[in-house]
Amino acid sequence: MAVFPLPQLEDNAVLLPSSQTNSTQPQLCDVWRDIQGAHNWNGLLDPMVPNLKAEALRYGNLAQLCYDAFDCKSYSKNYGTCYHSKRDLFNKMGMSESGYQVTKYVYANTNLLNQVFGEKPKDQGVWLGFIAVCTDPNEIRRLGRRDIVIAWRGTQTAEEWIEDLRDILVPTRLSYRCKRTGKNQEHHFADGVLIERGFLSCYTSTVRHRQGAAGATVNISTRDLVVSEIERLIQVYEKEMDNLSITFTGHSLGAALATLSAYDIKQMLCTKHNFHQIPVTVFAFASPRVGNLAFAKRVEEIGVKVLRFVNKRDLVPKVPGVCMNENVGCLSKLLHWLPWTYFHVGVELPLHNNSPFIQHTHNLAYFHNLELYLHLLDGYVGSKQPFSWSGRDHALVNKSCDLLREKYGKQILNLLRFKLT
């Protein structure tokens, strides 16, 4: 990723070179379980330790990749697909040194996505993300374990969310294949668990999937595709069980699907011998509420660790459940059975819009932009600390919206012109 020289800082911005910031920090391989939320990130968020920030940014970049690699042009013959093959995805997107290998693409087909991206045939899905596994020995040593990552793409704008988030909570019944009998068995882990209907519909939607070397197509749900691939990877790396992690990441709708799929995968792991010990973590950006109080309790009970990054001026994390949510207090708990009483899950990290590089705006959609989230996270030190640039290219916030202050944009444009000449 290209990093331009830092323009003259203003206001209360502070520059702390990464070399000085990280010099006293332990190696990631020694503390990876804490970074993955083994202790709910206690003592790691305020101030934020560099190892955690670097990992959160790394997973955030994978979520952003899902946007950048998606063909959203309705006039394109490949509309709704990924621009690149699984083999070439990281290379073509400038992440050849990620150390990961994509093993499966994830597709979904629901009315929700049809409204957002246009009508498609019933058996066709749109590309929603990927499953990848860390295969590079050097990266495995740096991480301290082999990591399986599931990255989900979200909707494109906040306006689409406002239009789409009009559903209610519905019960979920998810079954898992019993290893001993080979039959699907429905496990009722927690009575009263309710999920937002649009998210559940997206996750359980059926798409036509090409399978095997012969290229035969079968109808398979998005959920079955994800669960079966995770099961396969776990079996492949079963001997590394003590040093294996599963990490989910996503933005907006992708964050909701990351939370829901992490819950589902952890439930599946709980049904299998010795698999329950595999840590499951979610790095969620701008996540809306996903379920009710019973869902939030169950997520915590089974050990899914969720770290939610929230721009304080973003409206999406405030929905659904605007009137009845975890902030209402006792009333929401008394009325938890209502189909519109929502509760957030996990740990929240508020991000402040205190960057000197960002211009003032009244466009609420901009506050939902993932690149802005990553920019604010890059400069985040603590809840009461000024913005401290850590090296991420601040010009990236202008990738899909006009947020960079004009004078910085001119400096970057002049730099590009100079390089081209």
Q: Which residues are catalytic?
A: 252, 314, 368
CB 365 within 8 A of CB 158: yes
What does the H/E/C string look like for 95-137? Answer: CCCCCEEEEEEEEECCHHHHHHHCCCCCCCCEEEEEEEEECCH
Residue 194, beta-bridge partner list = 171
Classify residue 294 by burial, with Cβ atoms within 10 Å: 0-12, 13-18, 19+: middle
Q: Which two tokens stand for residue 17?
A: 């070179």
Q: Which two tokens stand for residue 75?
A: 């006039």
Strands 146-152 and 244-251, by their bridges, are parallel
CA distances, 65 to each of 62, 189, 259, 288 (Å): 5, 34, 19, 20
Residues 330, 379: Cα–Cα separation, whole Å: 36
Per the listing, tokens 């082999």 go with 146
List alpha helices for 36-103, DSSP H. 50-68, 89-92
Q: How far apart are the first and last CA of the chain?
A: 21
Q: Which two tokens stand for residue 379?
A: 């400069």
Residue 248, beta-bridge partner list = 150, 282
Strands 206-211 and 216-221, by their bridges, are antiparallel
